[in-house]
Amino acid sequence: MTDIIVNGMSFALPLFIIAVGGIFSERSGVTNLALEGFLGAGAFIGALFVVLTSGWFSPGSQVPMYLAMVFAMIGGALYAVIHAVLCIKFKANQVISGVVVNILAIALTDFLTSQVNAGIFGQSSDKFVMTVSGRLTFQPLANIPVIGGFFTNVYPFEFIIIIVAMISWYVMYRSRFGLRLRACGDNPYAVDAAGCNVGRLQFAAVMISGALSGLGGMCFAYSVFGNYSVSIYTGYGYLAIAAMIFGNWKIPFTLGACLLFGFARAAGYWLIQLMGLPGAYSDLIMTLPYVLTLLLLIFFSKNNRAPRALGEIYDKGKR
């Protein structure tokens, strides 16, 4: 049970912060299928910083990881500008824009990773190799049955994600900016009539989405993979979107959905080890969160209430 909790949390929390980024964008009225591109582009910038400054820090130092998260958030926010400009400035179809942004991120980061490795390090590789983050165990809490799993082998970034999520919740539900942002997703014309710039609010929401996605992507690179490559795009952005929808575009419920996906994935790997199955079955287990997503959406999608103006192209002239 402890292993399921430890591995489930290390997968669920990065997925959760990516989903929170999606909530910011979609609660402002901008459909965001580009989370996968955001997390990949942001993580690329963070990983690039790590490999270029690898000689600056002592072996075993955790400072590069924290700085990489900052750069990943900056990179994700800047890359999100593409989606924001297309959807808000040029009023492009938001679904098509999201798909294009994802494809562009995969092609661009794969190419740049190979070029950096070849040109700077003289290596033929499509990945940036990084160290796996250290872990923390809190005694005597770790000795408590079942609950102790939440205090055993915890990645430091899990605390960062929790803190960022709490700040995001406050901004979304307790700040004036969050009130206006949520109003944009329901009635942007009313927000405009109140004297607020709808375009700026939506632009800021999409950039926040990119920053949070970049943070989640960097955490995946430091935990699940131990390196950066396009493999960190493997459907996690879309899984975050599914969690957001299942969570009804609300941060607390979305956390529950991500935990469900994370524990399902971890439980699958545990079953493989318990039954002594070949490693090839791990690929099959990776489909568990997606199968679970389909089942949940089938049974619970009728209760979902998306923002009323989600996906609508705002035109001030129609007010």
Domain hosting residue 34, numbered range: 2-135+148-318
Let me know if 153 is exposed, middle or buried by CB neighbors in 10 A (0-12, 13-18, 19+): middle
pLDDT in tens, 142-174: 888 878 878 888 899 999 999 999 999 999 999
Q: For position 33, what pLDDT does the model report?
A: 96
Q: What is the CATH number of the domain that holds 239?
A: 1.10.3470
Q: Per-residue pLDDT for 115 more than 70?
A: yes
| Higher local confidence (pLDDT), 204 or 299 | 204
- The proportion of the chain whose per-residue pLDDT surpasses 70, expressed as a percent, equals 95
Number of domains the chain is built from: 1
Three-class DSSP labels, the chain: CHHHHHHHHHHHHHHHHHHHHHHHHHHCCCCCCCHHHHHHHHHHHHHHHHHHCCCCCCCCCCHHHHHHHHHHHHHHHHHHHHHHHHHHHCCCCHHHHHHHHHHHHHHHHHHHHHHHHHHHCCCCCCCEECCCCCCECCCCHHHCCCHHHHHCCECHHHHHHHHHHHHHHHHHHHCHHHHHHHHHHHCHHHHHHCCCCHHHHHHHHHHHHHHHHHHHHHHHHHHHHCEECHHHHCCHHHHHHHHHHHCCCCHHHHHHHHHHHHHHHHHHHHHHHHHCCCCCHHHHHCCHHHHHHHHHHHHHHHHCCCCCCCCCCCCHHHC
Query: Is residue 33 a part of any domain in this protein?
Result: yes
The answer as to whether 10 is a domain residue is yes
Looking at residue 13, its pLDDT comes to 95
Looking at residue 19, its pLDDT comes to: 97
pLDDT of residue 199: 94
What per-residue confidence (pLDDT) applies to 226? 74
Residue 279 belongs to a domain: yes
For the record, the structure tokens of 144 come out as 């408590």
pLDDT above 70 for 283: no
Q: How confident is the model at residue 104 (pLDDT cuts 50, 70, 90)?
A: very high
Predicted confidence (pLDDT) at residue 317 exceeds the cutoff of 80: no
Instruction: Write down the pTM of the prediction.
Output: 0.94
pLDDT higher than 70, residue 85: yes
Does 208 score more than 80 pLDDT?
yes
- At 318, is the pLDDT very low, low, confident or very high (cuts 50, 70, 90)? low
- Domain membership of residue 252 (yes or no) is yes
Question: Domain for residue 61, yes or no?
Answer: yes
**pLDDT range class, residue 190, cuts 50, 70, 90:** very high
Q: Let me know if residue 84 belongs to a domain.
A: yes
Q: What is the mean pLDDT of residues 82-109?
A: 95
The model's confidence at residue 280, banded by pLDDT at 50, 70 and 90, is low
Kindly indicate the confidence band of residue 102, based on its pLDDT and cuts at 50, 70 and 90: very high
Residue whose entry in the numeric block shows the structure tokens 């408590």: 144
What's residue 252's pLDDT?
94
Q: What is the pLDDT of residue 319?
A: 57
Please check whether residue 143 lies inside any domain of the structure. no
Average pLDDT over residues 53-74: 87
* Residue with token string 């033929």: 124
105 is a domain residue: yes
pLDDT at 279: 63
